[in-house]
Chain A
Amino acid sequence: MEFMAQANKKFGVRSLLVQGLTFLSVLTSAFMIWKGLSLFTNSESPVVVVLSGSMEPAYYRGDILFLHNGYSPIEIGEVVVYKVKEKPIPIVHRVLKVHNDNTSGKQFLLTKGDNNNEADDRGIYNPGQKWISRDDIIGRVRGFVPYAGMGTIWMNDYPQLKMILLGTLCVLSLFTNE
């Protein structure tokens, strides 16, 4: 016990721990908000950044999209974010065709990017796959904010930026202590 009191006096261990705790609680609150939002929207990723130019001129690279999935069937004309099975990249396109099957309760959907003239998405589905289903949809676009995601695009295109940013944050946190 005495050695701990001495360590606290010398290095301020307790204040360091308190700082660490505050940092951790901020992190976990952010995580909780994100996961809570995912549950509320039934979407694994309720906020996405547009990565490709296939929906121009409506959405450009770097726009942030707010998604809401819910449980209702997809309707035509909605802009949806989906993932082709076994491909990890989410794609933002508009729904071109909707066929409902009452016996199985399934939907057969075909999508197309606004900027892809006359070419629907069958070229990017898996080979032999003509339709995507309701389960492939991560969410429908409800609203968006332009340019707000440019930071993510820059970080992906220039990984050195990530390093520089992390380094700057560490340096700053060292210097802003009383």
Chain B
Amino acid sequence: MNNFLQRLSGITSFAMSTLMVLVVLISLTTPFLPSNPTHAVQLHNVQTTTGRMMDPYDKTSRTAEYARLTFDVDADLSSMFNWNTKLLFTYITVDYQSSNGFNRVVVWDRIVRGKRQAKLKLRKHHNKYLLRNFAQTFEGVEGANLTLIVNPVPYLGVMYDKTMSSIPFSIPRALKAGGKK
């Protein structure tokens, strides 16, 4: 072991092996670190209207039914921050059964970057992303649920989701001009 290249090769291979073992250990143990998040979601109101300003990518947007949700979120996610947490991707989904099958869409999301921002206290928030059915109307849509989910993104390791609160609700049909559905 007196050749420079031999020494370099020895050091490099040892470093690589150690790094690989560390990566595997960190990836396996991070999801089991304890956390104690509190979470509560409350839905105030669902309003369905028809039509939106012409969406350049969706020609059917002018006549489709869109639902507008008003909700509150109370959550303390700061205990989900451990040494291997880069950020928390929190999002709220609406899932429902339609005549075609099962559907699930994200209606709101937020990136929580630190413990200070992890105490969510949202009052009367609306959905960030327009909520409409795959078909033109909400006809045949039933069993809707509003769910809060958190995806802790680690600095290194495995991605997983953690479902928080879930509340059922129903999506009303839009009222036509004369007040008839």
Contact = CB atoms under 8 A, between A and B. Distances in A.
B5 interface: yes
B49 interface: no
Contacts of B134: 99, 108
A100 B157 CA distance: 30
Contact of B89 (A114, A141, A146): A114
Interface in A7-26: none
A51 interface: no
B151 interface: yes
A77 B101 contact: no
A118 B101 CA distance: 27
B87 interface: yes
A108 B89 CA distance: 23
Interface string B6-37: 00000000000000000100010000000000
B159 A102 contact: no
Interface in A33-78: 57-58, 75-77
B159 A76 contact: no
Given A96-B129, A141-B159, A77 B151 contact: yes
A101 B101 contact: yes
Contact of A76 (B23, B86, B89, B93): B93
Given A77-B149, A143-B157, A57 B106 contact: no
Contact of B101 (A75, A94, A102): A102
B105 A143 contact: no
Interface residues of B, number: 33
Interface in B147-162: 149, 151, 153, 155-159, 161
Contact of A57 (B98, B113, B157): B113
B103 A143 contact: no
A177 interface: no
A84 interface: no
Closest 8 pairs between A and B when the two form their complex, measured CB to CB? A100-B101, A122-B57, A102-B101, A99-B134, A97-B105, A76-B104, A143-B158, A58-B153
A76 B87 contact: no
Contacts of B153: 58
A29 interface: no
13 contacts: A57-B111, A57-B113, A58-B89, A77-B93, A97-B106, A98-B105, A101-B100, A114-B89, A122-B58, A142-B159, A143-B159, A144-B159, A145-B23
A123 B102 CA distance: 26
Interface in B82-134: 86-87, 89, 91, 93, 95, 98, 100-106, 111, 113, 128-129, 134
A114 B111 contact: yes
Most chain B CB atoms below 10 A, which of A99, A102, A108: A99
A100 B95 CA distance: 11
A114 B159 CA distance: 15
Nearest to A73: B102
Nearest to A103: B100
Contacts of A143: 27, 157-159
Interface in A144-164: 144-146
A130 B93 contact: no
A144 B159 CA distance: 8
